[in-house]
Amino acid sequence: MKNTLLLVMPPQLGLLEGFSSGLIALGNYIKLHNEDTSVRLLDLAEVAPGDTSKCVQAALQGLSGTVFAGITGTTAGYQSMLSTAQAFKQCSSGVITVFGGPHATAQDEIILDRHRFVDFVVRGEGEIALSSLLRHHGEPERVPSLSFRDGGRIVKTEDAPALDPAILDLLDPFPTFPGELSSPPGKFDHVTYVSARGCPLKCDFCVVRNSAIRTKSVPAVIEDLRHLVGQRGYKRIAIEDNFFAHRPKRTLELCAAIAQLQKEMDFNWDCQTRVESMRRSDVLAAMAKANCDKVFLGVEALVPAQLQFLGKTQRPEKYLECLSVEVAPQILSAGIGLEINLQLGIPGEDESQRTATLLELSRLGRIAADYGRRIVVSPQLHVVYPGTPHSQTHVANGGFGTLGNAAFEEFTAWEAEHQPVLTFFGEHFAHGNGGIPIGILDRGGLSRSEFLIDDASIGNLSSQLAAMEGIEGISVRKYGEYLTRTAQVGESGGKAGACSRAA
């Protein structure tokens, strides 16, 4: 009798729309390596949280054998992950619930200690671990990268090896099993595509820091794009590698191949990368020839002290000079759009730093205006993610009071109960990854394990956003139009068949 694996995207109310590409990769890996398992996607992203149970019940109907529910999510969606796992256990106590994703990886022990309805946590890259768990769930100690309960203790097995690039080549960018997604497989009206995993840099705020980059081969990338554009009909592709163009040789080869493919089919693409990777004019020329639509630069801050706090660079003045003198002009002159990520609400931010940020933006805006273009700013709310150096420092210094590492457990519950706060975060910042926004919380309250919004800090954020809007050559991204719109079910009306999300 076959096992069934339901790969679940929980409700995403108030977060950026877009189905997890990680779940698709997981499903395709399992399809290749676990012949005795039937894989399905369960997309609950647009389902109202109150309707989760009826959707889960509908997904479980007619299933036989052992059923696994693999549930993913970020810190922002963690409470939704919990309610979804609860719904599975309430509908059928025999369902084996498995958590994965960046939040679960860093908070595995706390999750298993506090929530008995979560059976296992897969840490880090999940393909090998999940495939093994499907075969050996009765002997979890044999499964790598797994955390589980054994009596009164939490057991953590050794980490699985990272996927070899040859295996990455085999993972299709779209499900290889039948089904339909209710939410788009991407964001900002683009389809997400990942051609490389990992990032070797060591930014202190990041959860994917200090890991080797592994890439798909150029021929595999081209076949993936051919499938997405030619067979699926997607015309706007977002290459969301953590560090696109990390190797100039591969980038030049890839762009030449994309340009050749565009002789057969019409599409454009964008990418996210770092300032340093965009210094070479030949790389930018190749990207322009391949119809790269836009580059998203993870600039993060425009003030030297803030760049050092973030661990972004050891030479902040040189970094900013490189951005304004070399990189921004070269990108704009190549005819490629430019969008920069900026973190606001960084702890210790004062009026002089806010002024310095606006002055540097004005400088960049004048450069853009000289080319008849505009630079788009993507505001990011500075947050502390679990498992990062910032988090470890905050816990060690007593910044979360007696809560310590469990602060994320408590904060996400508090945030979920304060919808106006979550709405403000979601509409003005890329808050889909969540985290604790320590720069706009009352620090005294935080050290007492209390979450209190500092009104003065919110006022400063609002004023800074408004000032950015008024700078020549600068636009500010509006996130509100890209948030998930909940599909109400039953008496509340909405999309017909909103629970029919099992693929």
Instruction: Give CA–CA dist 161/154, Å, rounded.
Output: 22
Strand, helix or coil for residue 427: helix
Q: What percent of the chain has pLDDT over 90?
A: 78
Confidence of residue 503 (pLDDT cuts 50, 70, 90): very low
Residue with the two structure tokens 């980490």: 159
Q: pLDDT higher for 418 or 25? A: 25
Write the DSSP symbol of residue 325: I
Residue 494: the pLDDT is 35
Mean residue pLDDT of the chain comes to 91
Tell me: the pLDDT tens digits for 350-392? Answer: 999 999 999 999 999 999 999 999 999 999 999 999 999 999 9
Three-state secondary structure of 123-174: CCCCHHHHHHHHHHCCCHHHCCCEEEEECCEEEECCCCCCCCHHHHCCCCCC
Tell me: the pLDDT tens digits for 359-370? Answer: 999 999 999 999
pTM for the full predicted model: 0.93
Tell me: the pLDDT tens digits for 151-186? Answer: 989 999 999 999 999 999 999 998 887 666 777 677
Residue 266: the pLDDT is 94
The backbone region for 287, taken as left when phi is positive above 0, alpha when psi lies in -120 to 50, beta otherwise, is alpha
All structural domains of the chain, each given as residue ranges with its CATH number in brackets, are 3-162 (3.40.50.10090), 336-483 (no CATH)
